[in-house]
Structure 1
Amino acid sequence: MTLVKAGVVVLDCAEPERLSVFYKEFLEGEQTDASANLVEIRGAGGIRLAFRRDVNATLPSWPRPENSLQAHLVFLVEHMDEAERRVVGLGGRPIETKDPAGPYEERRYADPAGHPFTLRLVPITAPKQG
């Protein structure tokens, strides 16, 4: 029997209602719970995120070295340009313009509250024939 059934990543921010809309639209999801200080969503792919009110939250400065990268999200996408258009259209902004080293195509952004996240391209592979 599995003890832990699911997990939720919680992001601190000044306006959880507003930030939840950004991720709900980006992930094509739905709001699953809300209180005065916490909003939770579930994306269409099953990812669960929550947003907790903290008017004194200090965001990391990543990719600048002044603060450590406390945490960031990575979203796997099949269509990088389409995902980027959606992120920017919803109020996200690019935070790094140079190509990162590594085996994956990645682009980095900040959500409207300043939390960093990465879009990583997952190549579409055709099913095996025969």
Structure 2
Amino acid sequence: MINWKYCIIGAALVVVLGIVFKMVEYGSFIGMFIPGVIVGYLVNNGYKNGAKNGIITGIIGGFILGILQITLDNTLSPLLNHGLPIIFAFALTAAFVSAILDAVGGIIGSRIRDRI
């Protein structure tokens, strides 16, 4: 069962941590992974539900993060001249990567909750 309250909180964390950790090398990936662990820990219904909620969190948060990263980054701003398809493709790629990382994080978070 999808717990939408934790998915929205996790998506907001993906966006915030992805932007904040962008200063560090591979920081966006860390910012996408940590909310998955948190959501998996909070859901507390087994690793399957942790993974499902992590995937939903990653898709929503990664899509928003992808749009913000391409529009706020100065090195990627020349791509904005090509229009909406480039922005949409970048956002879908970020959503896909974030969904995978958050699914793994959701499994790890639910396993941590089971062990405690």
TM-score normalized with structure 1 length: 0.25
Provide the TM-score with structure 2 as the length reference.
0.26
Please identify which structure carries the higher helix content: 2
- Greater Cα radius of gyration, structure 1 or 2: 1
Q: Greater relative contact order: 1 or 2 (C-alpha under 8 angstroms, separation 6 or more)?
A: 2
